[in-house]
Amino acid sequence: MTKTINDFQCGAIMLGMLLGVPLLASLLIPAGYAPYEPLVVLLAVALLARLPILSHPISRLSELARHPSPRAARWTALAIWLLSSAYFLGTALHQHRDLFPRIHDEHCYLIQSRMIAAGRLWMPQHPLADFFDTFYMLVHPVYASIYFPGTALLNAPFVRLGCPYWTMPVLVAGLTVALTYRVTTLLIDGVAGWIAVAMALGAYGLREFSTMVMAQAPMALFGVLILWAWLNWRKEHRLPWAIVLGICCGWAAITRPVDALAFALPVAMAMLLDWRQIPPWRRLATIVLILAAAAPFFALQAILNRGTTGSLLSTPYQLYLQQDMPGSGFGFHPFNAATRPLSTLPQKTQYWQTVRLDEIRQHTLRHLPADLAWRTVVIALCTLPSGILALLLLAVPFSLKDRRRSIVLCAAPLFLLIYLFNPFFLAHYPVPLVPVMAFAIALAVNVLTQGRDSFLPLMILAVCIASLPEFRHDIHDGTIPAMPISKLAHDQLASHVQAPAVVLFRFAPTDKSVEEPVYNDDVIWPDDAPIIRAHDLGPRNIEIARYYAAHRPNRQFYLLDRQENQNRTTLLLHPLGQADEYLHRLESGPNRD
């Protein structure tokens, strides 16, 4: 009977097992025992795969997948890109995640994307700079995002085309999965490539940030692109691949420079080890082309530095940390209890004191061992679909005879080592390591099976699928706290005000500083927004009323009290009249708004 089973039937049988067992486990296992679901799925698949009626189709399909032709691998990677992108968007919709900017960083990257799309890197300081002072934006001496421009440069074409907010990150995350498959298939085999795909899709970090305009998913893409370009250059030392490598390294360096080092340094070391095999003229040409390809990106960063900080070598990010996040620079610094943020915005002071101060204070050499252990756990939580998969990493050291594999794996420990100098290590920082950890697990499985057994790979695939939120009721990709005011404003502000308008957001000490709705991320300059968002500065509101009374007297003013809008489903606003009317009220008596 087994001889009559064709390839299509083999595939259907394997797919049915990979999806059916996790689905059945999710239906039968009580919610309180959901964390044990991957282990149950692992054991169930191990038993089922040994049944004679299933073992032959599984082995047959595994052999077909193990050694794809170059053409088949390319088409498979394209299909993985499209299907992974669709899955990332689909799972976000399935989990009812908000698909608009919510956290500080997203707003800043979107503003920066709009600036680059308009041919700008910064705007002049606004005359009412303090009213637009907000997290991770410079308002003195210019108006600009503090972040490195690589992510915004990648997102700018999508902004220019008017694509939905999530378009770039979804496509980037899907392409990261596809290239992870290509690198893993090249260095191991096709079965390992599919394990890497399942690992990448099962990693919470890549899933959650696949719909957010943040730097982590683009950096994951640039990281795997650096590896892919180097592997192709290494085959015949062709110069076009040196150009691609230079572009990838340069773009990565202006996206997340620390992460870029973790990928680029091992590759640079590997290229030096191959140097003797290359004719002298080709060595020189390779160096020149890599530097020339990377140079425009460094020039872009230098221009941004000079225009925002006045120095070619000082970045906007460094300037912001010095001003509003004192003590948080790279390195181990003595803690100075007398320092305070220079900004007068109470949100920034509260955020620094309640959210970040303990991390800054404890970032010392004495706490380094505990810090190292904790950050290792954070990397595992972000990049591994299930904790039981971490056991497989014990087999990785037995597979490092191939130098190429070692170079790919070097990114993870180097990433961890460099980040020890950063006081902060947030849960999403390790997202760029998702391809590396996926490769590591795939490599470990290959070592344990010696590239022949098809049953352990099947079990690992099933565990990854069982760890997806569609099969685990206790998993929801929502580690970012709820932002109710931001959601209300995004959904209802346009229908509750008469544009052109100015909405003054009032902050109280009991409000959460992690939520900040005062970003004009639909434009590159606050005055261009149909609905301008600004801070309520109490007695100083006469300044903003006077400014718009002189420039746009028909703008309607509103007050939005964040405290009043907590736990509301309908936005509550207080009309203050047109700019000239509001100014007259303020000049006539005490500010009671």
Write the DSSP assignment of 220-250 as a string of letters. Answer: HHHHHHHHHHHHHHHHH--HHHHHHHHHHHH
78 and 171 Cβ atoms separated by less than 8 Å: no
Does the residue 35 lie in any domain?
A: no
Question: Is 94 exposed, middle or buried, given 0-12, 13-18 or 19+ CB atoms closer than 10 A?
Answer: exposed
Check residue 293 and give its pLDDT: 97
- Residue 321: CB atoms within 10 Å: 17
Check residue 493 and give its pLDDT: 93
Beta bridge partners of 143: 123
The residues, any chain, with a CB within 8 Å of residue 496's CB and separated by 6 or more, are: 571, 573
Does the residue 542 lie in any domain?
A: yes
Does the residue 364 lie in any domain?
A: no
Check residue 590 and give its pLDDT: 61
456 and 407 Cβ atoms separated by less than 8 Å: no
Q: What is the mean pLDDT of the chain?
A: 90
Q: How far apart are CA 415 and CA 259, in angstroms?
A: 6
Does the residue 539 lie in any domain?
A: yes
The residues, any chain, with a CB within 8 Å of residue 181's CB and separated by 6 or more, are: 76, 77, 80, 193, 194, 196, 197
User: Which tens digits make up the pLDDT trace of 84-105?
Assistant: 999 999 999 988 888 999 899 9
- Percent of the chain scored above 70 by pLDDT? 95
Nearest to 506 by CA among 415, 420, 574, 578: 574
Task: Tally the C-alpha atoms within 13 A of residue 513's C-alpha that lie toward its C-beta.
Answer: 16
Does the residue 496 lie in any domain?
A: yes
State the DSSP code for 482: P
SS3 assignment, position 13: helix
User: Which tens digits make up the pLDDT trace of 341-383?
Assistant: 888 899 999 998 888 888 888 888 888 999 999 999 999 999 9
Beta bridge partners of 575: 558
Q: How far apart are CA 349 and CA 239, in angstroms?
A: 51
The residues, any chain, with a CB within 8 Å of residue 208's CB and separated by 6 or more, are: 97, 428, 477, 478, 479, 480
Does the residue 558 lie in any domain?
A: yes
Task: Tally the C-alpha atoms within 13 A of residue 203's C-alpha that lie toward its C-beta.
Answer: 37
Name the domain count of the chain: 1
409 and 433 Cβ atoms separated by less than 8 Å: no
Does the residue 116 lie in any domain?
A: no
User: Which tens digits make up the pLDDT trace of 129-152?
Assistant: 999 999 999 999 999 999 999 999
SS3 assignment, position 501: strand
Domain span at residue 525 reads 484-588
CA-based torsion, 154, 155, 159, 161: positive or negative:
positive
Nearest to 447 by CA among 198, 189, 222: 189
Mean pLDDT of the region 310-322: 94
226 and 197 Cβ atoms separated by less than 8 Å: no
Nearest to 528 by CA among 545, 551, 496: 551
Tokens standing for 325? 């996040």
The size of the chain, in residues, is: 593
Phi, psi of 179 (to 5 degrees): -70, -30
589 and 570 Cβ atoms separated by less than 8 Å: no
Check residue 562 and give its pLDDT: 93
Beta bridge partners of 315: none
Residue with tokens 């968002």: 533
Mean pLDDT of the region 512-520: 92
- Least confident range of 66-70, 447-451, 478-482, 492-496: 478-482
Does the residue 443 lie in any domain?
A: no
Q: How far apart are CA 211 and CA 191, in angstroms?
A: 28
SS3 assignment, position 137: strand
Q: How far apart are CA 416 and CA 393, in angstroms?
A: 16
Check residue 1 and give its pLDDT: 38
Check residue 8 and give its pLDDT: 65
